[in-house]
Chains A and B, each alone.
Chain A
Amino acid sequence: MTEIKLTVNGVARSDEVEPRLLLIHYLRETLGLRAANIGCDTTSCGACTVLLDGESVKSCTVLAVQANNRAVTTTEGLVAPDGTMSVVQQAFRENHGLQCGFCTPGMVMAATSLLAENPHPTEQEVREGLEGNFCRCTGYHNIVQSVLAAADKLSGSASSSAEVTA
């Protein structure tokens, strides 16, 4: 067993884990955080996407020990303490960016990472930015619209807060 210390959704954790424990199993089974799903289990589908130090990763292909001393964010961690969803989550709801919902936590985390790296993506950049996430229901149209809407809203609120500051 190996001791890991990390932050999950802002909460400091310390656990003894088997080195072979995958991050997705640590999150779902050790911590009971069930938003990230296990889909293909082969680094393809993106349903298990979480943020590691703010960057999207597929947690089926990361060992829990590799997250030692790092910060992990799951979809649960995007929700404010009062239950308010993040801008990306709200955009998915408002734009019908999901049907069955299985891929949605991974899509939301991939989109959150994408918008952090590229706050003003084109539609093509959104499509390419989500190439690591499969949806078998929607045909992607509304997912892409959701991410573009979130980008608009985030840049709008950024510029209005800049105006307030000015």
Chain B
Amino acid sequence: MIPASFDYEVAESAAHALSLLAEHGEDAKLLAGGHSLLPMMKVRLAQPAVLIDIARITELSGIRIEGDEVVIGATTRHAEVVGSDLIKAEAPILAYAAAQVGDPQIRHRGTIGGSLAHADPSADLPMAFLALGGSVEITGPSGVRVVAADDFFVGPFESVLSPEELLSAVRVPRGGSVPWGYQKFVRRANDWAIVGAAAYGGRVALASMGGTPLRALATEQALASGASVAEAALLAAEGTSPGYDFHADVDFREHLARVLVKRALEGKTG
């Protein structure tokens, strides 16, 4: 399968990428690892006229501590997140989630910023990011804005990013001692979650239970009111709107949400 023709531009800096975006407008797409975009282009679900390659912009890559947050450059690849001692110490759920993405080849190419910008409601990193309660730095023509994880995802494959903006960094809280758990139900090793659940402290996020990654708010509120994990997990599907496909119908997804949230709250991974 061969993508439709496009023009290829290499951005030398974030500012250069922004000027290329301003020049080409909605016809342009940013290319980092390309592991969400290129498969869509190959089946012609995406046909950008211009690809702007941002993968080699050094200022957009890397992992560092800033106050009480870990800041991860947007073009940092999953393999780098998985292998980062800093992330393993300060945000272990994120290192674990990144290790669940696809397979080693995919993790050598895919980037954290690309995964969040793609906003797949069944993907690992959007769910982990929502559980962590982080934020993204978005760089646009008028400067940098910071958007909380709770406000970032708008719909299936849709975020608050506008066509002239660039997701430049991901911020997550430092919390090496915060209890966490992560559950992903799949039929094949490198699939997306049929349902996923991530728990971080008192926050619980779900994958594949609606058009965006979702907080299990009823579960969180029950926990905050002193309910047991088992009681709170029974509320995991409340307020969700899962779809159905050949993997699972709605009832099964709701059942999975309750079971996986319980396991995640018990600190289990799998």
Contact = CB atoms under 8 A, between A and B. Distances in A.
Interface string B158-190: 000000000000000000000000000000011
B255 interface: no
A46 B103 CA distance: 10
Interface stretch (B32-40, B86-94, B208-216, B261-269): B32-40
Contacts of B18: none
A45 B2 CA distance: 18
Interface residues of A, number: 30
A61 B53 contact: no
Contacts of B189: 128, 131
Contacts of A18: 5
Nearest to A25: B2
A46 B189 CA distance: 13
Given A42-B39, A66-B53, A131-B190, A110 B105 contact: yes
Nearest to A44: B190
B8 A132 contact: no
Contacts of B79: 55
B3 to A, nearest CB: 5
B66 interface: no
A57 B109 contact: yes
B109 A20 contact: no
A20 B108 contact: no
A22 B55 CA distance: 17
Interface of B: 1-8, 31, 34-35, 38-39, 42, 51, 53, 55, 79, 102-106, 108-109, 189-190
9 contacts: A19-B8, A22-B2, A43-B106, A56-B105, A62-B34, A63-B8, A63-B38, A110-B104, A132-B106
Interface of A: 2, 18-20, 22, 25, 41-44, 46, 49, 52, 55-58, 61-63, 65-66, 110, 113-114, 128-129, 131-133
Given A42-B42, A43-B105, A65-B8, 15 more contacts: A2-B8, A19-B5, A19-B51, A20-B3, A20-B5, A41-B1, A43-B102, A44-B190, A56-B105, A57-B108, A62-B34, A63-B34, A65-B53, A113-B104, A113-B108
